[in-house]
Amino acid sequence: METTQLGLIEQSFNVRYSLWVREALDELPDSFTITDPCISGHPIVFASSGFLKMSGYSRDEVIGKNGRMFQGVRTNRRSVMEIREAIREEKSIQVSILNYRKDGTPFWMLFHLSPVFSKEDGRVIHFVGVQVPILRKPRRSGSEFSRNGVNLCEDRSGFHETVFGCCRREVCSDSMAELDHLLAPDSLLNDDTELVVGELCKAGEIEKQKAITAMNNIFSVLTHYSELTGRLVCGKRCCISVTGPLDASLNISLGRIKQSFVLTDPHVHDMPIVYASDAFVKLTGYDRKEILGLNCRFLSGHNTDSSTLFQIKESIQTEQPCTVCILNYRKDNSSFWNYLHISPVRNASGKITYFVGVQIDASCKNLDRQSLSPEMRHLSAVGAVKVAVRGSSMGAASTSK
């Protein structure tokens, strides 16, 4: 894992909660993971001890990875789409799905997903995924066969295995595990239970209530340790951000774009930055929390050409794209020539919702060695941003119908 990614994962918890939150979460007997949709790739930033014990993975193998690492060979797309839509709509969901441990053994579980909102601005900052195993009574028949020591039922009904998947990088937890205080891993291997792979296992009221109780316990810990920092979290959106929070789906799509860029909101006073890419954070040296809500002028300094700033302002007022080379300053006060391209971004209905600014460090010695010209890199980033925004607005429009 890259150093930058590790730093973002650390900040994901350290900025929001007090120091002892991980230890408190690990004391819970529940099996769960926590993911951050604002980090590129929507990685897991916390995995409970119960999850690690049941899945067979170590913490180092899980943290920073996307949930697709847990999917099996026959992912049920309907279940995946349900989870994907829940993330897009930033709502809770319970789904019965089949998951796989590190050694390849499958098991059914109830997966309960819930967003974690910032109480101060209404943004989704994390997703919590709780896993509760679903057990079946034994069925003795000649159709049984053994897989890694687990009795499985031969699939003669034509049903496919339901495998918990990650919506191709868009599902936050995609985790599988067992409640440590309810079942030891060996309990799935004894004579009292049987994993039925060929048939859909539906969770009962007992599993559903266990998932709700576990989620409440997790939120109690997160709420308490966020109060200690003054940056409170909650299970429901308490307010709407003045800058209009980006939905989780758009955050994930933008996180895949590797170039340096920011999105600004032209409908809010002073056009604050509402999204900053990982590459922009790396280029400027600022933390993301220091960037969001600011106007892009914060990169200007005493030697920045005022006429170039006026040119940028004029292009925004006329809603036209422009490309300039401007002297900007990093957090450490070092200067760099920013080959900047600015363009309006329209949603599916044609309305301008954002302006995107794509930055290329013109001072970089390796600039000429790039496979694409700076102009093509600008256009590539702008195109990717426009696709992400339009796709998000189309999804929101279809959901509201």
- For residue 275, what are the CA distances in angstroms to 20, 175, 188, 357? 29, 27, 45, 11
Same domain, 280 and 378: yes
Same domain, 295 and 342: yes
Give the model's pLDDT for residue 141.
43
* 249 located within any domain: no
* 242 located within any domain: no
* 334 located within any domain: yes
Give the model's pLDDT for residue 107.
81
Give the model's pLDDT for residue 156.
35
Same domain, 8 and 40: yes
Give the model's pLDDT for residue 367.
66
* 252 located within any domain: no
Question: What's the CATH number where 286 sits?
Answer: 3.30.450.20
Q: Which residues pair with 347 in a beta bridge?
A: none
> Please, are residues 243 and 268 in contact by the beta-carbon 8 Å criterion?
yes
* 17 located within any domain: yes
Closest CA to 326 of 311, 344, 340: 340
234, 249, 269 — which closes off a domain? 234
Angle at 26 between CA 21 and CA 29, to 5 degrees: 135
Same domain, 143 and 272: no
Same domain, 349 and 208: no
Same domain, 108 and 183: yes
Give the model's pLDDT for residue 146.
39
Same domain, 177 and 271: no
Characterize 138-158 residue by residue with b for buried, 16 or more Cβ atoms within 10 angstroms of its Cβ, and e for exposed.
Answer: eeeeeeeeeeeebbbbeeeee
Name the residue with tokens 């929507």: 42
Give the model's pLDDT for residue 194.
39
Give the model's pLDDT for residue 245.
61
Closest CA to 356 of 326, 395, 393, 322: 322
- Written as six digits, the tokens of 203 are 């969770």
CA 107 vs. chain centroid, Å, equals: 25
Q: Length of the chain, please?
A: 401
Q: Where are the beta strands (DSSP E) in 294-351?
A: 322-329, 335-346
In angstroms, the CA 170 to CA 190 distance is 36
Same domain, 117 and 218: yes
179, 200, 234 — which closes off a domain? 234
Closest CA to 71 of 184, 211, 213, 170: 170
φ, ψ of residue 279 to 5 degrees: the values are -65, -35
The count of structural domains within the chain is: 2
Same domain, 157 and 268: no
- Written as six digits, the tokens of 253 are 């799509």
**What residues of the chain score a pLDDT lower than 50?**
137-196, 240-243, 400
* 384 located within any domain: yes
Give the model's pLDDT for residue 3.
60
pTM for this model (two decimals):
0.54
In angstroms, the CA 19 to CA 4 distance is 20
- Written as six digits, the tokens of 332 are 């450490």
Same domain, 158 and 287: no
Q: State which residues form the domain around 51.
A: 3-234
Residue type present at position 155: D
173, 201, 234 — which closes off a domain? 234
Closest CA to 111 of 36, 196, 177: 177
* 283 located within any domain: yes
Same domain, 193 and 230: yes
* 321 located within any domain: yes
Q: Which residues pair with 262 in a beta bridge?
A: 276, 357
Same domain, 214 and 108: yes
